[in-house]
Amino acid sequence: MKLFSFWIFFLFFLVVGCQSPIKRSDPRLEPHPKNGTTTGQTVTPPSNTAPSPSPVPEPIPGPLNPEMFKNQQKSPQKIGVIIGPGGLKTFAAIGVLQELEKAQLPVDSIVGLEWGSVVAALYSVKARAHDVEWKMMKLKKDELPKERFFRSGVESSSISDLSGFFVTVFENKRIEEGKIAFSCPSYYLNQEKVSLIESGSYKNAATLCLPYPPFYKVPQLIAAPFAIEEAVQFLRKKGSTAIVLINVLGTGTILDEKKIEGSTVAEVLWREIRKNLRAPHAGVDWIVDVPTKGDMMDLDSVRSLIQTGQQTGASVAPQMAQKFGY
């Protein structure tokens, strides 16, 4: 009986064990790896091979910003102006200054020679050309040199004849109070040297820098119409980097033949002045030649002179703006 029970239990465990076989993978039945990899496994590269870096995409360029180039652009030059001599023909310089203002070409400092000293001084007060025109139009004929009645020529006047005009247009203003720097050259006859007037009252400066033969009696201090070099030095000292010379004696007649009859010296003198103005000068970057006509002391022609200056200024202002960085 015991033997029979043993065999029954033995057969039972044998049957159960055969129904739960242990599954083992057969290497022969595994799928072959592709590209050198094994299924279900991650291949680690050899330690002596560095991984290739991922490519970085190049940035897409955007629109150019003009602000980036502002600091790279050249700064506009500071303009210094010399108003040359020429009696009342210097009214033409007013027209040139008006056109420079329209073209937004600011004048940084200014010098005037002979009658140009009055125009330059008035401009330096406010730096407004129309204000200069308004004040210069207050000049009266009885304040100017008078023609002789019984013989040809002009009677030389005293500079004191213009004192009333100077008081009217300058009042008590001083050069140091002007909006822009101003100076005018005066020539000391005894010492034979040029002195630049750059301080004090405008009235005094005009009195020292304006009189010149044959229209005015020659005091110890007279105008210095040849002093372009000194004018350039002053403007450079004041910071001007571009110098413009306005020559109102560019072409045309200078003096009425009737007024200079018997005074060949005066005619020769003014012709030499014009020749000097036309010549190239060291430090002068631009010469504006205004083709004025008529006598240099003709008060009746001043309005047409201003118009001539406007026409000349309008023709050269765009070129000057390009050259000087405006």
What are the residues whose beta carbons fall under 8 Å from the beta carbon of 214, sequence distance 6 or more? 153, 154, 156, 260, 263, 266
Q: Model pTM?
A: 0.76
- Would you state the pLDDT for residue 56? 58
pLDDT at 219: 78
Q: Is 156 helix (H, G, I), strand (E, B) or coil?
A: coil
Give the model's pLDDT for residue 250: 80
Beta-ladder partners of 152: none
Non-local (6+) Cβ contacts of 106 within 8 A are: 79, 127
pLDDT score, position 110: 98
Residue type, 154: V
Task: Tell me the backbone φ, ψ of residue 83, rounded to 5 degrees.
Answer: -95, 115
Mean pLDDT in runs of 10 for the chain (326 residues)? 52 50 48 47 52 59 55 80 97 98 97 98 98 98 75 75 97 97 95 95 97 86 95 98 95 67 73 90 95 90 97 97 95
Identify the pLDDT of residue 90. 98
Q: How would DSSP label each residue in 77-109?
A: PPEEEEE---GGGGHHHHHHHHHHHHTT--EEE
CA distance 167 to 171: 5
Half-sphere exposure of 244 (CA within 13 A, CB side): 29
CA end-to-end span of the chain = 129
The angle at the Cα of 215, spanning 91 to 151, to the nearest 5 degrees, equals: 120
